[in-house]
Amino acid sequence: MLNRRLVAFGIVAALAGLVPLINGISAAAPQTHHWVVARSVGLSTSAPGNKQMREPAGKMHTADMGWWRKARFGMFIHWGLYSVPAGVWNGKHAPEPGEWIKNNAHIPNKQYNALAKKFDPVDFNANQWVKIARHAGMKYIVITSKHHDGFSMFHTKATNFNIVKATPWHKDPLAMLSAACRHQGIKFCTYYSIMDWHSRDQVPAHPSATYPTYNPTHFAPGRGPAYLHYMERQLHELITQYHTHLFWFDGQWMHGWNKTYSHKLYSYIRSIDPTIIINARIGSGYGDYSTPEQHIPAQGLPGPWETCMTINNTWGYVSWDHDWKSSTTLIHHLIQCVSGGGNFLLNVGPTAKGVIPKPEVDRLLAVGQWLKVNGDAIYGSHRSPFKAALPFGYATQKRGKLFLEVTKWPKSRTLVVPMRNQITKASLLANPYITLQTASGAGGQLVYLPPTAPDQSASVIVLHVAGPIHPLQH
Ligand code: JFZ
């Protein structure tokens, strides 16, 4: 009971911090700066803070978002000490999500820290994880380098509370994943929590030797600058040692995190490597894209955005959660994101042994199968030209092409596409050799379909059209 109340409190606190932020960023028009400084220069030994590489005064969208906008589909990985208890504490189910167990089961530092001795992911295989992402059709991975629990999943000089020093495994999974990503052509990106339940610079909401509640923390008196410095040391490592392409910040609702800190952190990262993409959870309106969580905004958001989502009901592994979304649902979510101009970041929660659970792998590979056939409608595609929802599914587009992702195959065997443009050719993306008949009719262009849907999840029709789409308003 008490648990639930405090979890709810945490979510309300999180919401309070995030809503203005998401609104703030969507309102801003994207602006692009063309950086002459090459990424490799940014990663050289030149001192961070070098004047010439400093960020101009502008607040956001300074990174080249090119690869990220084309990628459309990424893998989120929540992996850390919390994967050891896996949602069970003192023999009882702790409230989800699994990575919140230190807060939600009110675990004192000493007991939580001891989990490190049990963290021995002998079955971890970086190449295999990246291969799973690749076969799922994902173009980037975002892994927790440090979640709210404060445990660093990489070799850091800033603290001994890290996977190399504190576990019997003594290995650096981020180094191995970064290398595997480079070999397999996947962008390596990192999640980093600003809130830290382990740091002595932050005070838990309700400190207690036996029943602490951590969320939301606040800075210990005068310790904000020291904590910022700690973060900068770690981010510097993540940039120079692991070549992270993106920082996915979180936990910015901790008390005391303010505009000055957001700005300092943003400028710091830019000063080291201006090509790094930064999400809006860095706080106070800074950041390059917004991050709606667990839901997809109906017609998308104006600026760059990415929905992150779990496959069951937790980010970090929970042994008893078997509430898996179907692969069809996941395919629909991916399509809906892209048709709204956004990315889809789908989460996996590997076990403490280092294994991505099979039900997750099965679903990812099914999405990958669909993308092998239909990827042209997703990668590098832009948002639907239509303002209102379409009765048969979704639309995405590229120069000269309109893709219709049909999730509800019409009994009438006719699609009504609400646009003025003439169709020069219509076919199934799965089979370009069979041409579909088309006609102009009331309400737009008509496309005549075969009697049954070729794909049980979503069948994609590709229409060749000249010039930009002119939607008919309805
Ligand atoms: C945060 C984390 O607390 C969580 O553990 C996970 O990492 C997720 C991806 O991000 O959770 C949030 C963030 C924002 C809201 C709720 C949970 N919110 O806006 O309601």
pLDDT tens digits for 125-156? Answer: 999 999 999 999 999 999 999 999 999 999 99
Residue linked to tokens 């504190």: 166
Ligand 1 atom index nearest CA of 17: 19
Does the beta carbon of 99 lie inside 6 Å of ligand 1?
Answer: yes
Instruction: Report the pLDDT value the prediction gives residue 62, as an integer from 0 to 100.
Output: 55
In angstroms, what is the span from residue 430 Cα to ligand 1's centroid? 37
18 backbone φψ class: left, alpha, beta (φ>0; ψ -120 to 50):
alpha
Q: Distance between alpha carbon 389 and the CA centroid of its chain, in Å?
A: 24
Q: Which residues face 74 on adjacent strands? A: 140, 345
Q: SS3 for 345?
A: strand
| Domain boundaries of the chain, sorted by first residue | 5-377, 393-465
CATH architecture for residues 393-465: Sandwich (2.60)
Does the beta carbon of 19 lie inside 6 Å of ligand 1?
Answer: no
pLDDT band at 474 (very low <50, low <70, confident <90, very high): low
In angstroms, what is the span from residue 350 Cα to ligand 1's centroid? 18
Does the beta carbon of 15 lie inside 6 Å of ligand 1?
Answer: yes
Q: Which residues face 191 on adjacent strands? A: 144, 248
Quote the percentage of the chain above a pLDDT of 70: 86
Scored b (16 or more CB within 10 A) or e, 308-326 reads bbbbbebbbbbeebeebbe
Asked whether the predicted pLDDT for residue 19 surpasses 90, the reply is no
Distance CA 192, CA 377 (A): 32
Q: What is the mean pLDDT of residues 303-329?
A: 98
Does the beta carbon of 250 lie inside 6 Å of ligand 1?
Answer: yes
Q: What is the mean pLDDT of residues 237-248?
A: 98
Asked whether the predicted pLDDT for residue 472 surpasses 80, the reply is yes
3-state secondary structure 264-316: HHHHHHHHHCCCCEEEHHHCCCCCCEECCECCCCCCCCCCCEEEEECCCCCCC
Q: Are 273 and 42 in contact (CB under 8 A)?
A: yes
Q: Is the bond into 471 cis (omega within 30 degrees of 0)?
A: no
Distance CA 59, CA 37 (A): 19
Distance CA 29, CA 87 (A): 42
pLDDT, tens only, 428-448: 999 999 899 999 998 999 999
Ligand 1 atom index nearest CA of 144: 7
Tell me whether strands 423-428 and 431-435 are parallel, antiparallel or unpaired.
Answer: antiparallel
Average pLDDT of every residue of the chain: 88
Distance CA 272, CA 239 (A): 8
CATH of 5-377, one of 3.60.15.10, 3.60.20.10, 3.30.1130.10, 3.20.20.80: 3.20.20.80
Q: Give the closest residue to 138 by CA, choosing from 332, 399, 378.
A: 378
In angstroms, what is the span from residue 251 Cα to ligand 1's centroid? 8
- Proportion of the chain in helix, strand, coil states, percent, rounded to 5: 30, 20, 45
Which two three-digit tokens encode residue 355?
A: 């294994």
**27 backbone dihedrals φ, ψ, rounded to 5°:** -75, -25
Least confidently predicted of 50-59, 102-111, 396-405: 50-59
pLDDT, tens only, 371-419: 999 999 999 999 999 999 999 999 999 999 999 999 999 999 999 999 9
Asked whether the predicted pLDDT for residue 14 surpasses 60, the reply is no
Q: Are 187 and 277 in contact (CB under 8 A)?
A: no
